[in-house]
């Protein structure tokens, strides 16, 4: 069964896991464009408590530029979300959205190879963390 993301459970607290994830993504050419501390926003906006959840907007500029040149509609799919969620017992879940599935939305077969290349890089990053 296919999911929308690559997923891995790791030991550690959210802050250090986010730092490690940021470093391994950088090794694969991904920079972090955005950071949302989702749990903080839900507390601010709704007064609701959640376990820590951090959403990073990760982008490989070279691949993003190439994709944008082929179809500017891809801008709505950039950046790729990388989620770090505390799941308890000193563990976090890391979830990296699959670019290949996002590109399917555009029905651009020409861009499929680029998306698979991005998938491969994300999977490598996940293996290293």
All domains in the chain, ordered by first residue: 5-128 (3.30.310.70)
State the pLDDT at residue 23: 97
pLDDT for the residue numbered 55? 98
The model's pTM is: 0.92
pLDDT at 127: 95
For the chain, list the strands marked E by DSSP: 5-11, 31-37, 53-59, 80-88, 91-97
CB-based contact 86:49 (threshold 8 Å): no
Let me know: does 23 contact 129? Beta carbons within 8 Å: no
Residues with pLDDT less than 50, the chain = 1
Instruction: Determine the pLDDT at residue 111.
Output: 86
């Amino acid at each position: 069964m296919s999911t929308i993301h690559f997923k891995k459970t790791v030991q550690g607290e959210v802050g250090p896991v986010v730092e490690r994830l940021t470093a391994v993504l950088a090794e694969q050419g991904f920079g972090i464009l955005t950071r949302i501390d989702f749990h903080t926003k839900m507390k601010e906006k709704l007064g609701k408590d959640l376990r820590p959840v951090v959403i990073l907007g990760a982008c490989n500029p070279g691949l993003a530029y190439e994709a944008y040149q082929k179809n500017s509609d891809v801008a709505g799919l950039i950046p790729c979300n990388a989620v770090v969620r505390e799941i308890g017992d000193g563990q976090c879940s890391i979830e990296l959205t699959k670019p290949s599935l996002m590109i399917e939305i555009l029905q651009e077969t020409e861009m499929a190879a680029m998306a698979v290349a991005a998938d491969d890089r994300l999977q490598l990053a996940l293996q290293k963390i």
